[in-house]
Amino acid sequence: MKKVTKYSLVAGTTLGLVAMLGVANLSAVNASPDTNNSTNIVEKIAERFSLDKTEVSKVFEEERIARHNERLAELVSDGKITEEQKALMENHFKEMDTKRNDILNSDKTEEEKETALDELREEGRQFAEDNDLPKKGMKGGHGDRDGQDRGMGRFNK
């Protein structure tokens, strides 16, 4: 029997956890305006498996972006958006993601962050409307919270 190194065991376990969380709507946890949920999960995984918290956080972020890109590709293949709309949305997503990260990493209070994220979500809704993007069939990467639309780029109303 081959020896399993600690690194490969931890990496495999971490990837498995990320995959399981992805099925359980990882993005809803990761993008919540209350960053305590995602921070706690990242910290718990990093602590339990003696991993660098920054690296674990990167895995979560990479998964969120990959899921977003998969959704866009599916929308094109389903004929709900065009390739041009997809490209427009990809560029907008990058811009919005930068703004989102700036807000979350700022020195603002949690209430100020919540307000800024609400404004950013409204900017995303306006972008969809201005660019004639469909309102149905497009799920945001961040899900609903308490029945309210909380996901950036969420075009369902």
Task: Please report whether residue 40 resides in a domain.
Answer: yes
The alpha carbon dihedral of 58, 44, 21, 79 has a sign of: negative
Task: Please report whether residue 154 resides in a domain.
Answer: no
> Model confidence over 97-135: pLDDT tens digits?
899 989 989 999 999 999 999 999 999 999 989 988 876
Range of the domain at 25: 6-149
Whether residue 15 is predicted with pLDDT greater than 60 in this model: the reply is: no
Task: Please report whether residue 157 resides in a domain.
Answer: no
Task: Please report whether residue 155 resides in a domain.
Answer: no
DSSP 61-99: HHHHHHHHHHHHHHHHHTTSS-HHHHHHHHHHHHHHHHH
Number of domains in the chain: 1
> Model confidence over 24-56: pLDDT tens digits?
444 444 444 344 566 689 899 999 999 999 999
Task: Please report whether residue 1 resides in a domain.
Answer: no
- pTM beyond 0.75: the answer is no
